[in-house]
């Protein structure tokens, strides 16, 4: 952002007015004073704690500020349960970022009980940034009914020859794009599929696809956090354990803190970094965005990253569920009934 010369586009689910939030605001105000245009889009539910003064001061400095849902009459046609869960930044139409990181101090390393925060974000340069910019523009138009004048000229590849697909998904799609993405990854995996997701509350078709993959010999690994910011989600994950273990699906709990990354690795063919979790909310209720990369160096880097993460995990067994009290198991099964809303 400090190097932007024309415009800055931001879109985040959670924005806080803490140290990092104030630092971001200071940078934006400085760039506005230099003549750089700023468009600032946030989700009104995810950022419910953001003070009005934060937004007012940005607007006074010249930023265009909009909420994805607040004040938009068209929102009434949608359920209040829908969220804009995307986290992206575009500078000058040349550099973009997408992944699991929101704007808050905890994303820099402070999480539940002051333990480390584990997340993954992806920097994109070159022509693929246009995909991020287009997703942002559609969301901005939804929130404000405006089409800002942006740079759409094709960008030369900065370095490397990676092929990148930017995939926005959401409840306004003709198809259940996010569900189809995960099903395609699982069904096409030949040797392995590793998925890192902080929230593991899949529906029956995802569970069946994972079971079929494992039964045909695919190395299926699901990495979730040991400690969760949602007790209901943590309990629901236990209810899948017996099904998963019997089919050969490995469920690994990340130990050193709260793991928030959303990463998929399929064979040695492609990897994805984005905002979508392995739960019903991401599949059907949230607006998400995923960057899918097929280049060998990127896939190898994700392989190394996830292998390191897995070395800090504990693999769960059926005993983690069967060995608990009957009340605990009944609670897990009861919570699983809420899976469509978690």
Answer whether residue 291 is part of any domain. Answer: yes
Q: Are residues 214 and 300 in the same domain?
A: yes
Of residues 201 and 239, the one with the higher pLDDT is: 201
Q: DSSP states of 93-148 as a string?
A: TTEEEEES--BSGGGGT--GGG--EE--EEEEESTTHHHHHHHHHHHHHHHHS---
Answer whether residue 258 is part of any domain. Answer: yes
User: Which residue's structure tokens are 């063919």?
Assistant: 269
Q: Are residues 334 and 205 in the same domain?
A: yes
Q: Are residues 168 and 311 in the same domain?
A: yes
Tokens of 146: 């405006």
Last residue of a domain, one of 90, 111, 143: 143
CATH for 116: 3.30.870.10
* Total domains in the fold of the chain: 2
Q: Are residues 221 and 113 in the same domain?
A: no
Q: Any catalytic annotation for residue 260? A: yes
Answer whether residue 2 is part of any domain. Answer: no
Of residues 152 and 76, the one with the higher pLDDT is: 152
Rounded distance between C-alpha atoms, residue 73 and residue 79, angstroms: 12
Question: Phi then psi for 198, rounded to 5 degrees?
Answer: -70, -20
Q: Are residues 180 and 37 in the same domain?
A: no
Full-model pTM? 0.91
Each residue's pLDDT tens digit, 168-214: 999 988 999 999 999 999 999 999 999 999 999 888 899 999 999 99
- Consecutive H or E run containing 220: strand 219-225
Percent over 70 (pLDDT), the chain: 92
Each residue's pLDDT tens digit, 65-95: 999 876 455 554 555 667 899 999 999 999 9
Q: How many CA atoms lie within 13 A of 246 on its CB side?
A: 9
Q: How many CA atoms lie within 13 A of 185 on its CB side?
A: 27
Instruction: Please return the burial class of 71, using the count of CB atoms within 10 Å of its CB with bins 0-12, 13-18 and 19+.
Output: exposed
Answer whether residue 201 is part of any domain. Answer: yes
Which is catalytic among the residues 43, 87, 279, 309? 87
Q: Are residues 210 and 243 in the same domain?
A: yes
Q: Is the pLDDT of residue 320 over 80?
A: no
Answer whether residue 157 is part of any domain. Answer: no
Last residue of a domain, one of 111, 143, 175: 143
Q: Any catalytic annotation for residue 303? A: no
Of residues 336 and 215, the one with the higher pLDDT is: 215
Which is catalytic among the residues 25, 31, 43, 85? 85
Q: Are residues 105 and 178 in the same domain?
A: no
Answer whether residue 47 is part of any domain. Answer: yes
Q: Any catalytic annotation for residue 312? A: no
Q: Are residues 224 and 335 in the same domain?
A: yes
Which is catalytic among the residues 43, 92, 139, 279? 92
Q: Are residues 200 and 302 in the same domain?
A: yes
Of 25-34, 104-113, 167-176, 185-194, least confident by mean pLDDT is 104-113
Nearest to 109 by CA among 100, 118, 101: 118
Q: Are residues 129 and 179 in the same domain?
A: no
Q: Any catalytic annotation for residue 31? A: no
Q: Are residues 191 and 316 in the same domain?
A: yes
Which is catalytic among the residues 25, 31, 94, 260? 260
pLDDT confidence bin for 145, thresholds 50/70/90: confident
User: How many C-beta atoms lie closer than 10 Å to residue 325's C-beta?
Assistant: 8
Each residue's pLDDT tens digit, 16-25: 999 999 999 9
Average pLDDT over residues 292-319: 94
Which is catalytic among the residues 151, 203, 229, 267? 267
Which is catalytic among the residues 25, 262, 279, 309? 262
Q: Is the pLDDT of residue 61 over 90?
A: yes
Answer whether residue 152 is part of any domain. Answer: no
Q: Are residues 266 and 335 in the same domain?
A: yes
Answer whether residue 25 is part of any domain. Answer: yes
Each residue's pLDDT tens digit, 252-296: 999 988 999 999 999 999 999 999 999 988 998 899 999 999 999
Q: Any catalytic annotation for residue 320? A: no
Q: Any catalytic annotation for residue 85? A: yes
Q: What is the mean pLDDT of the chain?
A: 89
| Domain extent at residue 238 | 164-341
């Amino acid at each position: 952002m400090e190097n932007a010369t024309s415009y800055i586009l931001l879109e985040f689910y959670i924005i806080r007015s803490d140290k990092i939030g104030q630092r971001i605001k200071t940078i934006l105000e400085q760039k506005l004073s230099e003549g750089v245009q700023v468009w600032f889009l946030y989700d009104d539910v995810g950022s419910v704690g953001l003070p009005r003064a934060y937004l007012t001061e940005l607007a006074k400095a010249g930023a265009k500020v909009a909420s994805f849902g607040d004040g938009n009459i068209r929102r009434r046609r949608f359920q209040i349960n829908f969220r804009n869960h995307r986290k992206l930044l575009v500078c000058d139409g040349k550099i973009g970022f997408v992944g699991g990181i929101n704007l808050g101090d905890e994303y820099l390393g402070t999480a539940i009980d002051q333990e480390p925060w584990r997340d993954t974000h992806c920097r994109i340069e070159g022509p693929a940034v246009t995909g991020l910019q287009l997703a942002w523009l559609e969301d901005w138009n939804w929130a404000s009914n405006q089409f800002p004048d942006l740079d759409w000229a094709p960008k030369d590849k900065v370095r490397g020859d990676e092929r990148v697909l930017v995939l926005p998904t959401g409840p306004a799609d003709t198809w259940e794009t996010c569900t189809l993405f995960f099903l395609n990854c699982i069904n096409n995996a030949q040797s392995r599929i590793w998925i890192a997701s902080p929230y593991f509350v899949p529906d029956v078709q995802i569970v069946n696809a994972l079971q079929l993959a494992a039964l045909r010999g695919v190395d299926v690994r699901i990495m979730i956090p040991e400690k969760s910011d949602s007790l209901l989600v943590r309990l629901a994950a236990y209810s899948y354990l017996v099904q998963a273990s019997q089919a050969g699906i490995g469920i690994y709990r990340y130990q050193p803190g709260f793991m928030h990354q959303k990463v998929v690795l399929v064979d040695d063919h492609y990897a994805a970094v984005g905002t979508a979790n392995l739960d019903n909310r991401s599949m059907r209720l949230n607006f998400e965005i995923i960057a899918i990369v097929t280049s060998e160096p990127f896939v190898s880097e994700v392989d190394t990253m996830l292998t390191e993460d897995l070395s800090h995990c504990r693999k769960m067994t059926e005993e983690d569920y069967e060995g608990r009290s009957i009340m605990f198991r009944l609670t897990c099964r009861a919570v699983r009934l809420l899976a469509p809303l978690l």
